[in-house]
Structure 1
Amino acid sequence: MFALKSRIYYSLGFAKCCQSRNFSVGKATLDSVNLKGRSFLTLKDYNAEEIKHILWVSADLKHRIKHRGEHLPLLQGKSIAMIFEKRSTRTRMSTETGFSLLGGHPCFLTPQDIHLGVNECTTDTARVLSGLADIVLARVYNHSSLEHLDKDTSIPVINGLSDLYHPIQILADLLTLQEHYGSLKGRTLTWIGDGNNVLHSFMMSLAKLGVNLKVATPKGYEPDAAVTEEAQRLAKQFGTRLQFVSDPVEAARDSSVLVTDTWVSMGQEEEKKKRLKDFSGYQITIQTGSVAAPDWTFLHCLPRKPEEVDDEVFYSQRSLVFEEAENRKWTIMGLMVCILTDYRPQIPTLKL
C-alpha cells in the first residue's frame, strides 16, 4: 500500500489543482524558458529552470494525453532520426511511440543502416540528416560521437545514451520522484554501484534542484574525475551535500531514494567475472533500506540483474522502477516538444 497510497494522493491532489481556475503558471523565469532549437547532450548544459521546464511540459503531456485522453499532434509533419549503436528497449519504445503519438514520424537506424564515421564520415552524415529530419536522437558508445554530430548538424541532437552521460534517464527519474513525493528539494538520493553514465547525469543535475547526493562505489569504480570536480562545484554553488563513500549501508543512511544500475554494461561483458567479484556486498536489500529514511524508495533504470538488487526490494511497494520506465516516454516527449515547438503547459508548475 505504501507506493499505491502515494500515487493516489498525488493523483487526487493534482486533479484538484488542475480543476482550479486560479492557479499560477509559475515564476516568470520558468514560464519564459525557451529551449527551441537546443541540443540535449548533457544536463551540465541546462540550468535549474530549464530542467524544471522540461519536467513541467512532460507532466502536462502525461496529464492531457494519458489522463484526459486528448489528442495533441504537436509534432505533426516532423521527423526524428533515431541512431542506435547500442540496443535498447526503453529508449527505442519511448521515443518511437512518443514521437508518433504527437503526430511525428520516427525513423529507426541501426548500425546496419548508419554507422557513424565508418561508411561515411560523421560530418557528411550530419549534413545529410539535417536536410532529411527535424531532430536526431543518438544512442552511442562514445560521447565524442555525439559532440561531433552536434557540431556538424543544423538540427538539434539528443543524447539517447553515451559512455559519459545518460541525461534522458534522469528526466524520467526526476519526474517519477516528483510524482511520488510531491517535491524534491532537501531530499537525499543515494547511488550504490558503478560510477557510470547514469550517475554522471545525476551529478550534473541534482544539486541544481536542491537534492543531496551520496555515492557508494567499490574502489576503482569511482565516477569520472572531471565530472566529480564539476559536481563538487555545483554542490557548493547550490548549498547541497555531495558525499563519496565505499560502504553501501553508510551511504544509504537517512536517504530518501536508493538507486543502482547494471554492474556490467554493454561492451563490458569480458569484465563480468571481475566486476561481480568487485561489487560483492553492493546488492541493495531490505537490510540496506533499514537505515534509510522511513519513506525510502528504489529506482533502477533497467534492465536489472538480481545481484544488483534482490527481488524483495525490486518487486516491493517501495520500488518505482515500472513507473520510472513509463516516464521515459513522457519525459522524452516533453523534451522533444520543448526543443521543436513553442508549447506552453496548461497545468500548474511542478513543485520541485
Structure 2
Amino acid sequence: MSNQHFLTLQDIAPQDLDALIDRAITLKAAHRAGEASPQFPGSVMAMIFAKSSTRTRVSFEAGMAQMGGHAMFLSPGDTQLGRGEPIEDSARVISSMVDIVMIRTFGHDIVERFAANSSVPVINALTDDFHPCQLLADMQTYREHRGSIRGKTVCWLGDGNNMCHSYINAARQFDFKLHIACPEGFEPRADLLENNSDRVRVFHEAQSAVEGCSLLVTDVWASMGQEEEQARRAAAMAPFQLNATLLAAAEPDALYMHCLPAHRGEEISAELMDSPATIIWDEAENRLHAQKALIEYLLKTA
C-alpha cells in the first residue's frame, strides 16, 4: 500500500520536515490566539497503546479534537491485539474504519508490520528504537528560541536509546552535528553510527562532548522495561548528568532539553529542571502543535 507513514524521521524529506516545523509554529500561534482550526471534521484517529503515556495521549487526543476530529484510545487489554490476533489482521481491520493510526509500542517491527498492512497513514508514537514525534517538538522548540539548527552542534547525554537514535536521524534530516556522550556499553545502534559517521561522534566523557554545542539533550537512564537495571545504569551514567557545570562548558547561549518524564537529581539536576530559564515546558507543549502539523501533512497527502 502506498500511504505516507511516519515511522522514523527518514520517512519525510528534509524540505518537508522544515515546512512541517514552520506549520507547527503557525498552528501554535493560531491556537494561542483562540483561532479554531477544525479542518478534519469527522476524521477518526485510532490510538494504539502498548506502553503507558501522558504527553503522547494528551497531545494526540487534544490535537485531533482541536482539528475537528476524534481520537479513539485502544489498549491491548481492550482489543484482540492483546489476545493474539496477528498484527497484520488488526491493521487491515482497524485501518478500514479510521482515517489515521497512532501506535506506541515496544518492538519497532510492530509498527512496520502494521503500516505495511494499513490502508491509512500510520504514526510511530514511540517504539524501543525510535521516537520521531518527540524530535519534531524538539526541533520546533529550538527554532522558536534560536532559529535554524542547521550547522549547529548538539550533544546527547546518557543512554543510546530510542531518543538518541532519533537524534541521529535528526542530525541527517535537519543538517546538524551530533555528539553522543555515553558510558562504554551504552552506545546507540552501530548501524546508525556507521551510516551517519560524517556528522555523529561518540564520546565516553561528558565535558569535552558538550564543548561547542548549542543544544544539550538528555532522557531517563532506564526506559520502560528496564526498571530492574536502574541501579546499574545510574552508577554508570552519573558522570553524564545534565547540570549547570556541563551547561557552562557549552556555547554561551546553549539550550537544554528533556523529553520527560524526568528524574530530578539523576539524569538532570533539579537546578536546571526548575530554572525559570528552562524551555523544557515549551518542548512538552510543542508535542501538541508539532503533531497537529504532522497529522495535517499525513491526512492531506493520504
Does the TM-score normalized on the shorter chain lie above 0.5? yes
Deviations 1:14-44 (A, max 9, x none): xxxxxxxxxxxxxxxxxxxxxx941000012
Partner of 2:128: 163
| Residues 1:65 and 1:163: Cα distance change in structure 2 (over 3 Å) | same
Which one scores higher on RCO, CA 8 angstroms, separation ≥ 6? 1
The answer on 1:299 being equivalent to 2:257 is yes
Partner of 2:193: 228
Deviations 1:290-317 (A, max 9, x none): 1110001110000001211111111224
Aligned counterparts, 1:203-282, within 5 A:
203-232=168-197, 236=198, 241-282=199-240
SS of residue in 2 equivalent to 1:279 = helix
Work out the CA distance in 2 between the residues paired with 1:215 and 1:324: 20
Residue type of the alignment partner of 1:326: E
Partner of 1:320: 279
Partner of 2:268: 309
Deviations 1:126-157 (A, max 9, x none): 11111111010000000000011001111110
SS of residue in 2 equivalent to 1:50 = helix
Work out the CA distance in 2 between the residues paired with 1:83 and 1:183: 33
**Which stretches in structure 2 are left out of the alignment for 5+ residues?**
none
Work out the CA distance in 2 between the residues paired with 1:337 and 1:208: 20
Aligned counterparts, 1:92-103, within 5 A:
92-103=57-68
Residue type of the alignment partner of 1:206: A
Work out the CA distance in 2 between the residues paired with 1:267 and 1:85: 12
Residue type of the alignment partner of 2:242: I
Work out the CA distance in 1 between the residues paired with 2:287 and 2:171: 18
Deviations 1:188-246 (A, max 9, x none): 110010001111111112233221111101111000111212222xxx4xxxx422111
CA RMSD of aligned residues (A): 1.6
Please, which of 106, 109, 115 is the counterpart of residue 150 of structure 1?
A: 115
State whether residues 3 and 119 of structure 2, in contact with CA within 8 Å, keep that contact through their aligned partners in structure 1.
no
Aligned residues, how many?
Answer: 300
Please, which of 19, 25, 30 is the counterpart of residue 53 of structure 1?
A: 19
How much identity, in percent, do the aligned residues show? 39
State whether residues 76 and 82 of structure 2, in contact with CA within 8 Å, keep that contact through their aligned partners in structure 1.
no
SS of residue in 1 equivalent to 2:238 = coil
Aligned-residue offset at 1:183: 2.0
Work out the CA distance in 2 between the residues paired with 1:273 and 1:70: 48
State whether residues 297 and 318 of structure 1, in contact with CA within 8 Å, keep that contact through their aligned partners in structure 2.
no
Structure-2-length-normalised TM-score? 0.95
Work out the CA distance in 2 between the residues paired with 1:117 and 1:145: 13
Please, which of 240, 243, 254 is the counterpart of residue 285 of structure 1?
A: 243
Partner of 1:139: 104
SS of residue in 2 equivalent to 1:160 = strand
| Residues 1:195 and 1:115: Cα distance change in structure 2 (over 3 Å) | farther
State whether residues 37 and 340 of structure 1, in contact with CA within 8 Å, keep that contact through their aligned partners in structure 2.
no
Please, which of 186, 189, 198 is the counterpart of residue 154 of structure 2?
A: 189
Deviations 1:86-143 (A, max 9, x none): 0110000000001101000100011212363743111110111111110100000000
SS of residue in 1 equivalent to 2:102 = strand
State whether residues 9 and 173 of structure 2, in contact with CA within 8 Å, keep that contact through their aligned partners in structure 1.
no
Partner of 2:298: 339
SS of residue in 1 equivalent to 2:15 = helix
| Residues 1:122 and 1:197: Cα distance change in structure 2 (over 3 Å) | same
Work out the CA distance in 2 between the residues paired with 1:125 and 1:340: 21
Work out the CA distance in 1 between the residues paired with 2:193 and 2:79: 34
| Residues 1:210 and 1:317: Cα distance change in structure 2 (over 3 Å) | farther
State whether residues 84 and 111 of structure 1, in contact with CA within 8 Å, keep that contact through their aligned partners in structure 2.
yes
Work out the CA distance in 1 between the residues paired with 2:167 and 2:211: 19
The answer on 1:130 being equivalent to 2:95 is yes
SS of residue in 1 equivalent to 2:64 = helix
Residue type of the alignment partner of 2:225: G
Work out the CA distance in 1 between the residues paired with 2:121 and 2:245: 45
Runs of 4 or more above 6 Å deviation: none
Look at both structures and tell me which one has the larger radius of gyration over its CA atoms. Answer: 1
